[in-house]
Structure 1
Amino acid sequence: MAENIVVFEIPYACPQSQPDHDLMLALATVFNREQEHLGTAALSEATPEEFSACLNPSPDSVVKHRIFVALKASALAEDASGVDPTTGAASKAPKLGVADDASRDRSTASNASANSNTAPVLPHEVRVRDVVGYASLMYWDQPEAKQGYLSVFTDVDYRRQGIGSALHEAAANRARTLGLSIVEGWVVAISDRITPPQREAAVHLPNGDSFPMVPELAATMSWGYELGNVEYMNALHFPMTEDAIAILTARAAEMPSNFQVYSWLDADYPPELADPAKFMESFLRLRSYANEEIPAGELSVENHSHTLASWEALVERDVRAGKQLLNAAICDESGQVVALSTAQRQARPEGVFHQDTTLVAPSARGQKLGWALKAALHKLIVSTCDQPRAILTWNAVSNKSMLHINESIGFHPFLLEGVVQLRL
């Protein structure tokens, strides 16, 4: 890594703390410049509030984040009087040293010593222009959880300097101290930018899927990652065509009448429910199997469970970030949830939704419940958003049936994502 760049870890925030807004803005700026580079800025944009909410979870939250920042070394320079020579303003020296054990939230982390390979703690005051990259580590703060999710973003003007490698090393080291054994990440390929040599050097999976050897995949493989799955990122732009709405409505109407569809926003559960807590227990039980049921190629899969309190903490975090959670679920005659789907209205860009989970229990498949879920979410979107623009969803390339369904109602793939995993 270039000598003028230093990597720091942002101190883990307690619920009462307020992460520095300029730092949160800097992280969002790096992310958004990457989206502009990919040509996806109209569909994906981060806000400072999102990063602040992730670093400032409620006590009941089991989903945690650690963020690592690549900073220009000039930002740390001070003369003897404590004045930043680049601005003439008083500056605050960084606190060098790893985060205190008290700020760690897994028992395994407390065994890490101050001499470990974890990154030093970031100074509290940072200028937006001094941040040139970041890495984010998301994990579940539960003893049985061993898998984390790691993403690395380097500012487009500072690439090929080893910054991404340094950020990844810091985040992977923290994952080890947290007791994680696998981290998962994503790389992106844009169809019209893939070169013939990249296609020829593509990595092939046993199921026949392949991913071109773009620089991002080459970098992650040099860090020890292996390609495990290939997905399409699909987009449906509003308004839906009349033909698409007709198809969706007709297929949803074929669902047997002994099933009941419910939909709601955030944690405002349907008022017609006699026992919302029991309903949500069934909803969360089914959702805990989502990773296992969704086509995952060669990936190692870990299911995650929620209590009602931890789920509502996750919803509350997203609300603080300016997002809104849209939910649809279908119950059988016994009142058990046998199908569910969730989507998020993004804070920005306005009118953009990300559909992250759709699942029908194996015992209820083949009865058009998936269509009914899509119809319920579409109705919820158009009834709660004045000007919906698009909804994004992710499907494995091998999931031909879902890709066909999505295509029939107007979804089109526009990015190829490779899902990679590293065993720590």
Structure 2
Amino acid sequence: MTQTFALAELDVTPSDAAPSRLTEQVVELDALLGQELLGHDDMTGNDAEGVLRNLQETVAHRRRMVLAVDRVPQGAVVGGLGLPVLPGRGETGESTVLGSVLVSLGRQENTDRAHVVLEVHPGHRRQGIGTALHRVAEEVARAEGRSVLDTYTGHARSAEPGSPDALEAPTGFGVLDRREGPAAFALAHGWCLLQTETHSQLDPAEGMARVDALEAAAWPLAQGYEVVTWSGRTPEEHVEGMCDLYRRMSTDVPQGDAGREEEVWTPERVEANDTRREESGARTVFAMARHTTSGQAVAYSYLQTPRRRPTAAYQEDTLVAAEHRGHRLGTLVKTAALRRAVAEWPQVQRIHTWNAGENGPMLAINTTLGYRPVSIEGIWEKRLG
């Protein structure tokens, strides 16, 4: 079969020029795939400017994006990957994006790993594009000294347990259909399923109708604790507490057998993380629980919404320190964050969250708040030979 595409690296060098048409097409492809899976494009949080900012190198990460395009303009310079380099800003000619792969490389911990996000336009599948992008991702990872790849796949529904094509997660929670496109592709390219996550969705109005009763039931069990909230950047008085909570979050949540290293969080890293969110166009609200006697930060939860998509929000991290569980703190930080989010973001129509299938306590809290499952994600790993 004649190859009808070419690979090129996206140049994300900062400049005053507007994002290129190529970068805009990266956003459009992501939105199209969201529509295909979920019927909306809520998962496309970044606009073209946000994509380019997210691809900038930071103290914590380095990221590279390779595109599959229908043609490469004449005169394109070959870059360090041995591929033509096309501009993320300015004019790019007539190239059309058919697929993309993003490779994220941690610089401070988990330096044996690379995270991969691979997307192919639905109208151009089964033409070798996914395989070619996958091969490049492996080459980038190996060149950076990485021996493990990880990724995720989205699925509209679970498979029936025990059916001939059922692919059960080794955690014992979650079943995928091994014949379905993303799972079939991953298996064909040597990936192993580690875990599944439930993707749930909340109508903010339904959640708010339940908040008062949930808090009334929780506070009698949370004597000796207080909950504080804020929006945007972390207040100076909470930075040290967030350093500890972010560190715990990196290893305390269920991760199957991924074996990730504990992250090291410093005040500088918290500040850089806040800056990255701001520059990508995200707005955030946080809730933190503190032990009133010691002042220790013991739980947190946060939501974010992209400025370009004010009708969608994402319930991100929620964590309760192990030694402080059993006091309904998870409920209290989630309800406090939800209250603030609804007050500040009245346009939000849907809130999305993801939880490991084995994380029963957090799934139970979400159910009581009104979240309903809408899809399932597979968490995969591949060890490079």
- Normalised by the length of structure 2, the TM-score is 0.89
| Preserved contact between residue 104 and residue 116 of structure 2 (Cα < 8 Å) | yes
Cα 1:153–1:199, aligned 2, differ >3 Å: closer, same or farther? farther
Deviates more, 1:324-333 or 1:1-10: 1-10
Identity of aligned residues (%): 24
The residue type paired with residue 352 of structure 1 is A
Q: Closer, same or farther in 2 for the Cα pair 1:158/1:127, shift >3 Å?
A: farther
Check whether the contact 2:170–2:195 (CA below 8 A) recurs between aligned residues.
no
**Which digits, 9 at most, give the CA deviation of each residue in 1:292-350, with x for residues without a partner?**
21122233323323322222222222222221122221121212211111221123431
1:120 paired residue among 83, 96, 100:
83
Would you say 1:67 and 2:59 are equivalent positions?
Answer: no
Please give the alpha-carbon distance, in whole angstroms, between the structure 2 residues aligned to 1:375 and 1:241.
8
Shift of 1:357: 0.9
Partner in structure 2 of residue 405 of structure 1: 365
Could you tell me how far apart the structure 1 residues matched to 2:225 and 2:372 are? 30
The alignment covers a number of residue pairs equal to 377
Between the aligned partners of 1:349 and 1:177, the Cα distance in structure 2 is 36
Structure 2 letter corresponding to 1:123? L
Pair 1:267–1:61, CA change in 2 (3 A) = farther
Instruction: Return the letter of the residue paired with 1:295.
Output: P
> Structure 1 residues 380 and 129 mapped into 2: Cα distance closer, same or farther (>3 Å)?
farther
Note if contact 1:318-1:324 (Cα within 8 Å) is conserved in structure 2.
yes
**Contact 1:62 1:141 (8 Å CA) reproduced:** yes
Q: Does 1:96 align with 2:96?
A: no
Q: 1:236 to 1:252 in 2, by over 3 A?
A: same
**1:352 corresponds to:** 312
Q: 1:200 to 1:375 in 2, by over 3 A?
A: same
Per the alignment, in what secondary structure is the counterpart of residue 260 of structure 1?
Answer: strand
Asked if 1:373 corresponds to 2:320, the answer is no
Max Rg structure:
1
**Closer, same or farther: CA 393–155 of 1 in aligned 2, 3 Å:** same
The correspondence for 1:288, drawn from 241, 244, 247, is: 247
Which deviations, in whole Å up to 9, do the C-alpha atoms of 1:339-367 show, x marking residues without a partner?
A: 11122112343131112211111110001
Kindly indicate whether the alpha-carbon contact (under 8 Å) linking 2:290 and 2:297 is maintained by their aligned counterparts in 1.
yes
User: Would the aligned equivalents of 2:171 and 2:195 in 1 still touch at CA under 8 Å?
Assistant: no
Report if aligned partners of 1:247, 1:409 keep a CA contact under 8 Å in 2: no
After alignment, is 156-165 or 125-134 more displaced?
125-134
Q: Spell out, residue by residue over 1:69-98, the C-alpha distance to the aligned partner (whole angstroms, 9 max, x if none).
A: 11112x43x5xxxxxxxxxxxxxx211242
| Consecutive unaligned residues in structure 2, runs of 5 or more | none
Q: Which has the higher strand share?
A: 2
Higher mean C-alpha deviation, range 325-334 or range 357-366: 325-334
Kindly indicate whether residue 227 of structure 2 is the aligned counterpart of residue 261 of structure 1.
yes
Q: Give the letter for the 2:78 counterpart.
A: L
Find the aligned partners of 2:208 and 2:30 in 1 and give their Cα distance.
36
Name the structure 2 match of 1:13. Answer: 13
Contact 1:67 1:136 in 2 (8 A): yes
Q: Alpha-carbon deviation of 1:67?
A: 0.8
2:169 is the counterpart of 1:205: yes
- Whether the 8 Å CA contact 1:35–1:41 is kept in 2: the answer is yes
**Correspondence for 2:103:** 137
Q: 2:201 is matched by which residue type in structure 1?
A: A
The alpha carbon displacement at 1:377 in A equals 0.5
* TM-score (normalizing by structure 1): 0.82
Determine if contact 1:265/1:325 at 8 Å carries over to the other structure: yes
Question: Paired residue for 2:347?
Answer: 387
User: What's the offset of the Cα at 1:392?
Assistant: 0.9
| Distance of aligned partners of 1:119 and 1:203 in 2 relative to their CA distance in 1, 3 Å threshold | farther
Task: Give the CA deviation at 1:409.
Answer: 1.4
Aligned partner of 1:307 in structure 2 is 266
Q: Secondary structure, in 3 states, of the residue corresponding to 1:239?
A: helix
Q: Is 1:297 paired with 2:252?
A: no
Q: Which of 348, 362, 374 is the matching residue for 1:414?
A: 374
Instruction: Report SS of the residue matched to 2:40.
Output: coil
- What CA distance in whole angstroms lies between the structure 2 residues aligned with 1:128 and 1:319? 32
Deviation at 1:264, TM superposition (A): 1.2
**1:300–1:126 CA distance, 2 compared to 1 (3 A):** farther
User: Match of 1:300, as an amino acid?
Assistant: G
Give the Cα–Cα distance (whole angstroms) in 2 for the partners of residues 386 and 256 of structure 1. Answer: 29
Query: Kindly tell me: are residues 179 and 241 of structure 1, through their superposed partners in 2, closer, same or farther at Cα, counting changes over 3 Å?
Result: closer
Q: Distance in 2 between matches of 1:267 and 1:156?
A: 38
Deviation at 1:48?
0.9
The code of the aligned residue for 1:317 comes to R
What is residue 245 of structure 1 aligned with on the other side? Answer: 211
Q: What is the CA-CA distance between 1:389 and the residue it aligns to? A: 1.2
**1:120 positional shift:** 1.2
Q: Is the 8 A contact 2:19 2:49 kept in 1?
A: no
Question: 1:12–1:384: structure 2 CA closer, same or farther, 3 Å change rule?
Answer: same
Aligned CA distance change for structure 1 residues 21 and 62 (closer, same or farther; 3 Å): same
When structure 1 is superposed on structure 2, of 149-158 and 19-28 the one drifting more is 19-28
Q: 1:33/1:42 Cα in 2 relative to 1: closer, same or farther (>3 Å)?
A: closer
CA contact (8 A) 1:18 1:56 kept: no
Indicate the RMSD between aligned Cα atoms, in angstroms. 2.5
